[in-house]
């Protein structure tokens, strides 16, 4: 799939399937000892309409049935997102940047929105940044040297202020 999407497709590739990453690995107690058991904790992100059981089945296809897998934490997302504010957000973005194209996007990683979801509060990951084409946002976001240009921060702040003003008048 990645080859079909090209080099820039790497950013979109995790949105096309369930993903999992090893985040914690525990083994033996001694440097020279061979552990009798190794525990690996995985953080997985599921596509809409998939369950932890679906992910377990996918993982068993990769690692085999002899590996013991169990889900220890899962909070389902809402069945269907409420896109009621998308047009207002998109219109505000187009006014700030007439060449901008608002696109709904599924996040490949968990966000703090999951806490609001449990309370029944719809959230939007609206991050208006007018970045230079050569900026390489996907390599910098959440990296050790995470940053954006000051102009992008100014653009985003002004755009979000307009959204808040419009939302307050509804």
- To the question of domain 86-168 being in CATH 3.90.1150.10, the answer is no
* Per-residue confidence in pLDDT tens, the chain, 170 aa: 445 556 667 777 777 888 898 989 999 988 888 999 999 999 888 888 888 999 999 999 999 999 999 888 877 666 677 788 899 999 999 999 998 888 887 776 677 877 887 787 778 888 898 888 888 887 787 778 888 999 999 999 999 999 999 887 65
- Count of residues making up the chain: 170
CA separation for the pair 45, 18 (Å, rounded): 6
Domain locations in the chain as residue ranges: 2-63, 86-168
Q: Where are the strands (E) in 9-101, listed by range? A: 19-26, 39-45
CA pseudo-torsion sign 27, 29, 34, 36: negative
The model scores a pTM over 0.75? no
């Amino acid at each position: 799939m990645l080859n079909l999407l090209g080099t820039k497709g790497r950013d979109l590739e995790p949105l096309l399937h369930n993903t999992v990453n090893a985040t914690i690995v525990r083994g033996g107690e001694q440097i020279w000892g061979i552990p009798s058991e190794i525990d690996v904790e995985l953080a997985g992100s599921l596509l809409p309409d998939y369950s932890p059981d679906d992910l377990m089945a996918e993982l068993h296809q990769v690692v085999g049935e002899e590996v013991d897998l169990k889900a220890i934490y899962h909070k389902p997302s809402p069945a269907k997102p409420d896109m009621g504010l998308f047009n207002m957000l998109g219109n505000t973005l187009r006014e700030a940047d007439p060449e901008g194209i608002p696109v709904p996007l599924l996040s490949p990683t968990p966000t703090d929105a999951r806490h609001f979801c449990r309370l029944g509060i719809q959230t939007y990951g609206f991050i208006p940044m007018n970045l230079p084409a050569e900026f390489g946002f996907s390599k910098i976001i959440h990296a050790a040297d995470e940053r954006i240009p000051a102009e992008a921060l100014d653009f985003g702040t002004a755009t979000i202020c307009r959204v808040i003003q419009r939302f307050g008048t509804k």
